[in-house]
């Protein structure tokens, strides 16, 4: 059987090779398509920390994705005029805005994740799922009613934020930036799993009672994992908004939360490269089958059903011959 690390390296090599080929062939849309897959993989990688390591099935992770997107959209919206940029102190000639937006998106997402986590982690099982779903719906309907920033119609963004040393308007450079952030998130996840915190979190997931018996606090461990997960997902939301130059309330929808869970399950819950495999397959099916029929979700549903019934370790578990979550 194939080792998981080889699968991961092959996926990352493919993510590098395909945009390079597309650039040489003059097909910028393909680069944008792969960039979308990378951003969704980053969001799913954030969820995988809470779900794969912490065992927290969150149906409201789109909240953090949407917060990151709206943080980017609102700041960029105000930064479109030079006067507004000076008023809010975000950009002056010669400086760059994107790192500031990342910081805002990650910080706000982490704070909201802390608040939601403090309230929802008092519950468990299906009650936790419903509690996170409720928060997701609250933010969704709030965004619809927020007429100052487009309301139900969403908010168009007429600029793409810049990054020092890069021209983000060039698709291949923006892709490289997103891929670097994905690799950083995967590195953090790998280090986290092997660190004492990750081992303690895994122990709390498997047996909270035994974890308490050795002096661990499962609630604090889960809250920390939930906050880190929300922060990474919020960063992905900011990149997604920058890619599309548009934000809308659908970024808060429970359907998006469900899609992120599907990405993790397809690749393999708890697998380091599971989110990458799931996101690439999802975007490929959406692009190729979506061009043939509006019912392409039927194929996605069949794949998901097959994985749930016959490959509990996801596609990576199927290829490596190791069932169950690999933590």
Tokens describing residue 290: 């979506």
For 205-219, write each residue's pLDDT tens digit.
Answer: 988 898 899 889 999
Q: How far apart are the first and last CA of the chain?
A: 19
The pLDDT, as a whole number, for residue 23 is 94
What domain count does the chain have? 1
126 located within any domain: yes
242 located within any domain: yes
Residue pair 239/42 in contact by the 8 Å Cβ criterion: yes
Can you give the pTM of this predicted structure? 0.92
326 located within any domain: no
Q: Which residues of the chain fall below pLDDT 70?
A: 1, 80-97, 323-327
Q: What secondary structure does DSSP assign to 265-327, as a single string?
A: HHH-TT-TTHHHHHHHHHHHHHHHTTTT-TTTHHHHHHHHHHHHHH-TTHHHHHHHT--S---
CB under 8 Å to 122, separation ≥6 — which residues?
none
327 located within any domain: no
Residue range of the domain that includes 219 = 4-320
For 62-90, write each residue's pLDDT tens digit.
Answer: 999 999 999 998 888 777 654 444 544 44
140 located within any domain: yes
262 located within any domain: yes
325 located within any domain: no
154 located within any domain: yes
């Amino acid at each position: 059987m194939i080792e998981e690390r080889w699968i991961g390296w092959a996926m990352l090599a493919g993510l590098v090779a395909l945009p390079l080929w597309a650039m040489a062939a003059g097909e910028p849309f393909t680069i944008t398509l792969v960039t979308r897959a990378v951003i969704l993989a980053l969001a799913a990688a954030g969820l995988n920390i809470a779900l794969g390591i912490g065992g927290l099935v969150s149906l409201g992770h789109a909240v953090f994705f949407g917060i990151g997107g709206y943080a980017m959209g609102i700041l960029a919206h105000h930064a479109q005029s030079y006067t507004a940029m000076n008023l809010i102190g975000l950009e002056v000639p010669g400086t760059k805005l994107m790192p500031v937006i990342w910081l805002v998106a990650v910080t706000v997402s982490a704070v909201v994740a802390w608040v939601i986590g403090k309230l929802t982690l008092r519950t468990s099982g299906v009650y936790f799922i419903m509690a996170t779903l409720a928060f997701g719906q609250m933010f969704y309907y709030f965004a619809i009613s927020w007429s100052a920033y487009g309301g139900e119609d969403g908010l168009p963004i007429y600029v793409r934020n810049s990054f020092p040393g890069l021209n983000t308007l060039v698709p291949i450079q923006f892709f490289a930036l997103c891929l670097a952030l994905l690799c950083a998130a995967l590195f953090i996840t790998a280090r986290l799993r092997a660190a004492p915190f990750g081992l303690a979190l895994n122990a709390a997931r498997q047996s909270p009672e035994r974890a308490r018996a050795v002096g661990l606090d499962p609630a604090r461990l889960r809250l920390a994992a939930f906050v880190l997960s929300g922060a990474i997902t919020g960063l992905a939301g900011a990149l997604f908004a920058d890619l599309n130059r548009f934000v809308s309330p659908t970024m808060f929808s429970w359907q998006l939360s469900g899609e992120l869970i599907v990405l993790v399950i397809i690749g393999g819950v708890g697998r380091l490269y599971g989110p990458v495999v799931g996101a690439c397959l999802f975007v490929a099916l959406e692009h190729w089958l979506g061009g043939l029929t509006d019912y392409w979700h039927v194929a996605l549903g069949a794949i998901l059903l097959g994985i749930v019934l016959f490959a509990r370790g996801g596609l990576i578990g199927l290829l490596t011959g190791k069932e169950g979550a690999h933590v």
